[in-house]
Structure 1
Amino acid sequence: MDQLLALRVFVRIAESGAFSRAADTMNIPRPTVTKLVQDLERHLGTKLLHRTTRRVNVTPEGAAYYERATRLIGELDEMDESASHSRALPRGRIRVDVGSVVANMILIPALPGFRARYPDLHVDLGVSDRPVDLIGEGVDCAIRGGPLPDTSLVARRIADMDWVTCASPVYLKARGVPLHPSELMPQPAQDAGKRRVPGHAVAGYFSSLTGRAFPLEFHNAGERILVHGQVEVAVNESTAHLSALLAGVGIGQAFKFMAAPHIENGRLTRLLDDWTRPRQPFHVLYASNRHLSAKIRLFVDWVAEVFAPFDDR
């Protein structure tokens, strides 16, 4: 039995809650994963994992073993990095999760520079706007905007980004230009049996987790207005939301950096500039109980450099 590999497999199963997920993230055949765990339990003479139909849980003995195993693996990784000078020449693969528009407009364009600096360090980039379970899905770090989702994660703040309210000229020609956020509220039918007055449409953005739509938010001189509006088209992904605004489906709020090129070329028009929305904080997140290797530390530092020009603070 390769005891070190068995330790790594056990830790991955304990974190992900599934033999299959551990096999997939470690690129090891599933029967090999099962055999390694069986051999490890036989070697120790105790049960480390308890399987149910829905999930794999650690036993009390497994929980104690997991704590010591993670410390040991972290120390071994650090020893290897130190001996191979990987702090100067990092090697290996990093799995990163990032929101769509940030990936496409900020991170991916900068990746050739990262590869030139660290040619032996490879990046697996998961791109989506859905929340991610860093530990369960084997993700090394994530880049996310908004309130921190989990206090157990370590977070490094990399930027605060401004919002703009905008719409396409095609939309504004058809529906008019609003002068106050209240004009974006749904307009009731004036009399029973009559059709609703069209009013303004909102290009909606809804949560991948809850399915609920996020309101537009406006602040001015201490006044705060939340507008859910009349949503005729809604999406749950940031790049698609930008496409919806450009297509003229309604009025929406987008990060200034993503809307600015389209405002400059006339495909979008800024609206309600007297009203602001609080800046959105962005963080790099990683698990507090995971060894922060030199390669992850280097990647986090590089991400902070890349996001610095987009920081509206």
Structure 2
Amino acid sequence: MDQLLALRVFVRIAESGAFSKAADAMNIPRPTVTKLVQDLERHLGTRLLQRTTRRVSVTPEGAAYYERARRLIEDLAEMDELAAQTRAQARGRLRVDVGSILANMILIPALPDFRARHPELHVDLGVSDRHIDLISEGVDCVIRGGELADNTLVARRIADLDWVTCASPVYLKARGVPKHPSELTARAHGPADRARVPGHAIAGYFSSLTGRAFPLEFHRGDERLQIAGEAVMAVNESTAHLSTLLSGAGLGQTFRFAATPHLQTGALRTVLDDWTRPRHPLHVVYPASRHLSAKLRLFVDWVAEVFAPFDDRPPR
């Protein structure tokens, strides 16, 4: 039995809750994963994992063994890194996850520069707006927007992004240019009339986690408005949302950096410019329980450099 490999497999199963996820993450055949765990349990003379039809969980003995095994693997990784510092190039593979529009417009165009600097360091990039669990999915770090509620994660703030409210000229010609956010919602025609006058069509964005659409936000002085409006079309992916705005389907809010090329060509126009929305914070996030390896540190520092030109925070 390759005990070190068996330890790595056991740790990954304990974190992901599934033999199949461990096999996929480590690129090992599933029967091999099963045999390694069986051999490890036979070697130790105790059951480490409790298997059910729905999930795999650690036994009390497995929980204690997991903590020691995880620390051992982290120590081995640190030993390898210290020994490798004499080498000219960082080596290995990183699994990174990032939202669609950030990947397509910022990160992917810059990746050749990272590869040129570190040709032996490979990046597996997961691209989606889906909220992921870093531990269970074996991800080294994510670039994540919004406020962070999980205090088990370490976050480095890399930018704050401005929003714009915009629509295509075709849409604005057909529906008119709103002068106030209240015009975006349907409203009663008159006191005695129950009929509703349609507001503007909203190109909406809904959460992959909850399935609910995010409202548009408008701030001006002490005024704070949230507008749901009539979402004639809603998507849960940021690049598709920009395409929806460009198609003329409706009016919505997107990041200024994403809209800027289309504002310059006239494919989009901003509206309600005297209203703002709070900037969207961006972080590079990784699990606090994991050792910040040299290769991950290199990537995090590089990402901060790449996103710096897109940071809309005022200079300090």
Asked whether the equivalents of residues 90 and 295 of structure 2 are also in contact (C-alpha less than 8 Å), the reply is yes
Q: Cα deviations across residues 54-112 of structure 1 (Å, max 9, x unaligned)?
A: 11001111111111111110110111122122785111111101000000000000000
Instruction: Report the counterpart of residue 92 of structure 2 in structure 1.
Output: 92
Deviates more, 1:153-162 or 1:86-95: 86-95
Which residue identity does 2:295 align to in structure 1?
K
Give, in angstroms, the shift of residue 150 of structure 1: 1.9
Q: Cα deviations across residues 22-79 of structure 1 (Å, max 9, x unaligned)?
A: 0010000111111111111111111111111111001111111111111110110111
Q: CA RMSD in A?
A: 1.5
Instruction: Report the counterpart of residue 211 of structure 2 in structure 1.
Output: 211
Instruction: Report the counterpart of residue 79 of structure 2 in structure 1.
Output: 79
Report the TM-score when normalising by structure 1.
Answer: 0.97
In structure 2, distance between residues paired with 1:259 and 1:36: 51
Deviates more, 1:146-155 or 1:64-73: 146-155
Q: Does 1:170 align with 2:173?
A: no
Instruction: Report the counterpart of residue 258 of structure 1 in structure 2.
Output: 258
Asked whether the equivalents of residues 8 and 73 of structure 2 are also in contact (C-alpha less than 8 Å), the reply is yes
Unaligned runs of 5+ in 2: none
Instruction: Report the counterpart of residue 243 of structure 1 in structure 2.
Output: 243
Deviates more, 1:192-201 or 1:296-305: 192-201
Q: Cα deviations across residues 156-182 of structure 1 (Å, max 9, x unaligned)?
A: 110001111111100000000000111
Give, in angstroms, the shift of residue 198 of structure 1: 3.1
**Inter-CA distance 49–299: structure 2 relative to 1 (3 Å threshold):** same
**Inter-CA distance 88–283: structure 2 relative to 1 (3 Å threshold):** farther
Which residue identity does 1:206 align to in structure 2?
F
Asked whether the equivalents of residues 188 and 194 of structure 2 are also in contact (C-alpha less than 8 Å), the reply is no
**Inter-CA distance 87–74: structure 2 relative to 1 (3 Å threshold):** farther
Give, in angstroms, the shift of residue 199 of structure 1: 2.7
**Inter-CA distance 135–250: structure 2 relative to 1 (3 Å threshold):** same
Instruction: Report the counterpart of residue 304 of structure 1 in structure 2.
Output: 304
Instruction: Report the counterpart of residue 293 of structure 1 in structure 2.
Output: 293
Asked whether the equivalents of residues 74 and 291 of structure 1 are also in contact (C-alpha less than 8 Å), the reply is yes
Unaligned runs of 5+ in 1: none
Q: Cα deviations across residues 96-137 of structure 1 (Å, max 9, x unaligned)?
A: 010000000000000000000000011111000010010101
Instruction: Report the counterpart of residue 53 of structure 1 in structure 2.
Output: 53
Which residue identity does 1:36 align to in structure 2?
L
Instruction: Report the counterpart of residue 34 of structure 1 in structure 2.
Output: 34
Which residue identity does 1:131 align to in structure 2?
H
Identical pairs, percent: 76
Q: How many residues align?
A: 313
In structure 2, distance between residues paired with 1:89 and 1:218: 48
Q: Cα deviations across residues 191-244 of structure 1 (Å, max 9, x unaligned)?
A: 999864333111111001111000000001111000000111111100000000
Instruction: Report the counterpart of residue 154 of structure 2 in structure 1.
Output: 154
